[in-house]
Structure 1
Amino acid sequence: MKNIYVILALLCLVACNSAEKKNNTEDDSLLVTQKVKDRIDSTLKSHVDSGYVAGISALIFEKDKEVYFNAFGFADREAKKAMDRNTIVRIYSMTKPVTGTALMQLYEQGAFQLDDPLSKYLPEFTDMKVCTGVDKAGKLKLEPAKRGITIRDITRHTAGFASQQDSLLGKMVQEADVMNKENTLDAMTKKLAKLPLAFHPGEQWAYGISVDVQARLVEKLSGKPFDQYVRENILDPLKMTRTRYVPTNKDKEALAAMYRLVAKDTLQRIPDEEANAFNGKEWPLKPGGYGLTSSVDDYMRFAQMLVHEGSFDGTTILKPETVKLMATNHLADSITKRMWLPSKGQVGFGIDFAVRLREPASEKENKGAIGEFFWDGAASTLFWVDPVNELTAVLFVQVLPFDNTLHKKFRDAVYAK
């Protein structure tokens, strides 16, 4: 009888060891191990401790499981309000992928084709002129665009729209005040269409107002105000209840302060009236390129929809083939002038996402998986979707100017061997 108990004990020990080994194997199969979590903690905390940022948080999901969340420092340093999971931040250009998603829902419905002329739907963009320089008298030299702006152009930033920083057209752009908060999207596009283009459509990559034009196109094609369309077709279905242009009264209390890095370790708080100039009240302008505020969990729901090829938590936002189209490089090799896009690493550009094409060329470049697609925001926020590892990451911070070094260190912490 005693031998039976010994045998049973041995079998139990073997089974327990086997189960423990299996669990360890499963953990080791994840990219974000305990070692990686510790490394991320150290990286984020060091930025706060050095005075580089006031507060920072990060959330990572891998294979449908939350594998990392932590927050360090203050959402409001002066009020000693901690950065935490409840914090709301201004996501600036991380609004753009939401706009692209809205537009591509209409694409799925057959409302347009990517190579359709923009003027087919927004006739103000008919017969655009391109600035080629100035004559001896200092007058702008204009010529007809070689071809019309296409919808593909406004999804990949090759339309040719000038910015206030343009050496020839900057003053004209500034005087047109196209993005005045009192403008509707309709008024915005009509003002924009009166300005010359900085280059012929399709010949350069130049980041700018294109996604705001996408927002107007969503309005025109759907027959609904842009913000209403986004709420009804993306935010509400994904239960992104804390993502909006103007935070609710409750969420205004959770809105992080904005800071400017004025020296290596010196942060200056941007006055609240300046930081909240857009998000403090409802304006006629509902931009597609910036303007939303969100929580880390809300934006993760958007990222999770993308890594799941358009569906999440019982709702379908996009078809898998549409997500793949958006996450595919649409820039031909002939488009060699690409503004600051090369600073993102070995990337091309899809539909409102940068798309990673190759491994980093050097240790100075951001790490990431080939096939990853991502974007960031002016206040140094970041998110990415890594289909290879089934991983999504969201990094929230509120510091100007935009800091790619912070992103590199965060990515290094996640992907370093």
Structure 2
Amino acid sequence: MSPTSLPPASPASLGFSPERLDRLDDAMRGEIDAGHYAAISVAVARCGKLAKFRTYGCQSLETGAPLREDAIFRIASMTKPVIAVAMMSLYEEGRWQLDDPVTKFVPEFADLKVMRDGRLVPLDRPMTMRHLMASCAGFAFLVPMGSTNPKLDEMYLAADLFSGTNEDMVAKLARLPLEAQPGTLFRYGLQQEVQGVIIQRLSGEPLDAFLERRIFGPLGMTDTGFGVAPKERERIAPRYALDENLKLGLAADQSPFPVLAGTAAGEKPTYLLSIAGLYSTVQDYLRFAQMLADRGTLDGARILAPSSVKLMTSDLLPEGVPLRFLQPFAGVGYGMGVGIVLDPAHADFNGGAIGAGSYYWGGVHGTWFWVDPVNDVIVVGMVQQVDAGNAMTGRPYPVPDIRGMARSIVYGALVEPDTQA
């Protein structure tokens, strides 16, 4: 057992039918055999114990070596919940409040304007920390994913936001218009970058040092960070891509995220990307998720208070402002760095047989997790393929969504949901 994993228990003792849970093996291997995915790693936990952990496919298609149990993955947007926990740890110290104006911490934003019909107009309300944490602060993004003004996204892309340091990014962002008035539009993108700078300013520490001291170290997440030590880089799962014939090939870019293209796999970049820059393992992220499930603590390490976890995993979006990507989502809200399944029967792309109030997120390369407080279930899965995480956001991907398959199989196997191990 990895020193960073949860204690194992038999699936039956945790309320799962072992035979039904083993359907995961057939499903995941079937996708590997079909050539849809190069490698898949999945862990299922309940009541704080590990019910199942399996790896499928190849660490390297070129060599045929099997996927390592300790494989390291680029977790992309699963960085966002980590940044939210860091922010909440500072919230607990009274360093910021939901209704504080963001300019209290980022005075560079004092002269922000909104672009409307080609004109710049003043803000009609202050941008608050609540807006920033709920991803409705008004910023555009680099790609037109749910954009209301693609030309503005082109301006953001042309600004070369990530070529310097995190502080340089804020100065560049302050010169760009907002897409919408604060609190009026959920727009996936740059809010966590601003949060990362606020963490550094409030703590007086580099972002990576703060995360290590306050989260990764206490939780025993020994393989999580913005870079990978040279002697451990052989553990990094290569990122693959499907071509127009659905044939897998090594992706040209092996950086943590496309905006860091040119950064070698495992190399720590100058810019620490709060939206999508971390590497991690299934075992490490399972411990992070279990800490949230256990209301802020794990193995004696208290990271957050229960009330902070509850706030972070509550729907913070203003009334009438839906979570949206290419389209508005029904049945889903957004907390701090996580989506919230408000109505499982109607939750677009994230519903089904899952408890109301479950929170989740994923990464564009195919990593995912969810925590289901109703059934005390956690699932963490990891893949490394270009755009394999699209399904979570309702964007097309040409092969089956293994995250959705895992959800159906896990809950189909939970035949004794009242079991308390």
TM-score (norm 1): 0.87
Q: 2:236 aligns with which of 255, 262, 265?
A: 255
Q: Match for 2:410: what amino acid? A: V
1:188-221 Cα distance to aligned partner (Å, 9 max, x none):
1111011000010000101001001100000111
Aligned-partner Cα distance in 2 for 1:415–1:321:
28
Task: Kindly name which structure, 1 or 2, has the bigger radius of gyration based on alpha carbons.
Answer: 1
Query: What is the SS of the residue equivalent to 1:81?
Result: coil
Quote the residue 1:238 is aligned against: 219
Q: TM-score, normalised by structure 2?
A: 0.86
How far residue 362 of structure 1 moved from its aligned partner, in angstroms, is: 8.2
Query: Which whole-Å CA distance do the structure 1 matches of 2:358 and 2:93 have between them?
Result: 26
1:43: which partner in 2? Answer: 27
Q: Which amino acid aligns with 1:211?
A: Q
Task: Determine whether 1:351 maps to 2:347.
Answer: no
Deviation by residue 1:52-94 (Cα, 9 ceiling, x = unmatched): 1001010111112110111110121112221131111100000
Q: Which residue of 2 aligns with 1:157?
A: 135
In 1: Cα distance, 2:135 partner to 2:110 partner: 18
Check conservation: 1:371, 1:386, Cα contact below 8 A: yes
Q: Is the CA contact (8 Å cut-off) linking 2:239 and 2:254 kept in structure 1?
A: no
Q: What's 1:121 paired with?
A: 105
Aligned ranges 1:78-89 → 2 under 5 Å: 78-89=62-73
- Tell me the SS of whatever aligns to 2:59: strand
- Deviation of 1:262 (Å): 2.0
Structure 1 residues 336 and 235: CA distance shift in structure 2, 3 A: closer
> Match for 2:78 among 83, 91, 94?
94
The alignment yields a C-alpha RMSD, in angstroms, of 2.1
Question: Are the aligned partners of 1:207 and 1:339 in contact in 2 as well (CA < 8 Å)?
Answer: yes
Residues 127 and 148, structure 1, Cα contact 8 Å, conserved in 2: no
Which shifted more, 369-378 or 325-334?
A: 325-334
Counterpart mapping for 1:7-406 below 5 A: 30-134=14-118, 141-164=119-142, 165=144, 166-180=149-163, 183-263=164-244, 265-271=246-252, 277-278=262-263, 279-336=265-322, 338-340=324-326, 342=328, 346-361=331-346, 366-367=351-352, 368-401=354-387, 402-404=389-391, 405-406=401-402
3-state DSSP of counterpart to 1:72: strand
**Per the alignment, do residues 316 and 274 of structure 1 end up closer, same or farther by CA in structure 2, a change over 3 Å counting?**
closer
Gaps of 5+ in 1: 1-25, 135-140
Gaps of 5+ in 2: 1-9, 392-400, 414-421
Match of 2:398 in 1: none
Q: Contact between 2:229 and 2:266, CA under 8 Å: does it hold in 1? A: no
Taking a change above 3 Å as real, the CA distance of residues 40 and 271 of structure 1, as seen in their structure-2 partners, is: same
CA drift of 1:273 comes to 5.3
- The alpha carbon displacement at 1:364 in A equals 7.0
Q: 1:373 to 1:287 in 2, by over 3 A?
A: same
Q: Give the aligned length.
A: 383
CA distance in 2, matches of 1:304, 1:186: 32
3-state DSSP class of the match of 2:19?
Answer: helix
Contact 1:128/1:145 (8 A) holds in 2: yes
Identity of aligned residues (%): 35
Give the superposition deviation at 1:111. Answer: 0.2
